Amino acid sequence: MKFFVDTADVAEIRSLAGTGLLDGVTTNPSLIAKSGRKMSEVIAEICALVPGPVSAEVTATDHETMLKEGRYLRAIAPNVAVKVPLTEAGLRTCKVLAEEGTPVNVTLCFSANQALLAAKAGAAFISPFVGRLDDIGQDGMGLIADVVQIYRNYAFKTEVLVASIRHPVHVLQAARLGAHVGTMPPAVIRALFRHPLTDKGLEAFLADWAKTGQSIL
Ligand code: E4P
């Protein structure tokens, strides 16, 4: 399973990239707004830090302008993936950009039929939002299971990018289902490293080691 970080915070991305475990980055207009920076600059900086796909989202809602924005964003760096919303205009734009060789991440997906349409439009990634579905009492992971199954049935190449991940259990469930990618906030990635028994065990090992008076180097 590939791990993407869902943020436009360059310091966080730099730090997580240093682990060697980061496969890509997703941003959205809200995350760019939170960064307080110019979008083209922040995307260029992120693309230089992470070799994997960096999703940059269009903000127009009509096909022609989305296409222009998508081409502009794609020209920022070779690893930009253009993100479009799952609307009719978004999927028209996806089809054209995909035919031009641009990887497209179709975002704001909340149903399996929407995911089917995105695959038919040539999306490189589909982003079903599990947390936002859970928030309204629907089954976010049930959607992931459906999309993974449907894509397998037809051997679609579109990767299932689980989005709106809120906690480590979402990551575990997505991995069990065989989702290709999870995008998560930095805090969720960091939480995956931790276990109280790891901390306790390490503390005991180090205490015993100190008693020996040895040093390995
Ligand atoms: C994904 O690409 C989205 O940016 C993100 O996962 C949305 O997450 P949220 O529902 O926590 O805002």
Per-residue pLDDT, 154: 98
Q: CB of 105 closer than 6 A to ligand 1? A: no
The predicted pLDDT at position 35 comes to 96
Structure tokens of 108? Answer: 């704001």
Probe ligand 1: pick from 3, 5, 6, max atoms within 8 Å of CB?
6
Which residue is catalytic, options 83, 95, 120, 211?
83
**Residue whose CA lies nearest to ligand 1 atom number 8:** 164
DSSP for 81-111, written as a single string? EEEEESSHHHHHHHHHHHHTT--EEEEEE-S
Helix (H, G, I), strand (E, B) or coil at 176: helix
* pTM, rounded to two decimals: 0.96
Q: Does the structural domain 2-212 have CATH classification 3.30.70.890?
A: no
Tens-digit pLDDT string for the chain (217 aa): 999 999 999 999 999 999 999 999 999 999 999 999 999 999 999 999 999 999 999 999 999 999 999 999 999 999 999 999 999 999 999 999 999 999 999 999 999 999 999 999 999 999 999 999 999 999 999 999 999 999 999 999 999 999 999 999 999 999 999 999 999 999 999 999 999 999 999 999 999 999 999 999 9
Instruction: Say if CB 185 and CB 162 are below 8 A apart.
Output: no
Give the Cα separation of 106 and 115 in Å (integer): 9
What sign does the dihedral 30-35-36-37 (CA atoms) show?
negative
How far is ligand 1, taken at its centre, from the CA of residue 62, in Å? 22
Ligand 1 pocket check for 125: Cβ under 6 Å: no
Q: What is the SS3 assignment for 45?
A: helix
Share of the chain above pLDDT 70, in %: 100
Residue nearest to atom 11 of ligand 1 (CA): 164
Alpha carbon 102 to chain centroid distance?
17
Give the tens place of pLDDT for each residue, 5-54.
999 999 999 999 999 999 999 999 999 999 999 999 999 999 999 999 99
Q: Pocket of ligand 1, candidates 164, 166, 188: which has the most ligand atoms within 8 Å of its Cβ, to mutate?
A: 164
In the residue annotation, 83 being an active-site residue is answered as yes
- Report pLDDT for 150: 98
pLDDT at 106: 98
Map out the domains of the chain as residue ranges.
2-212
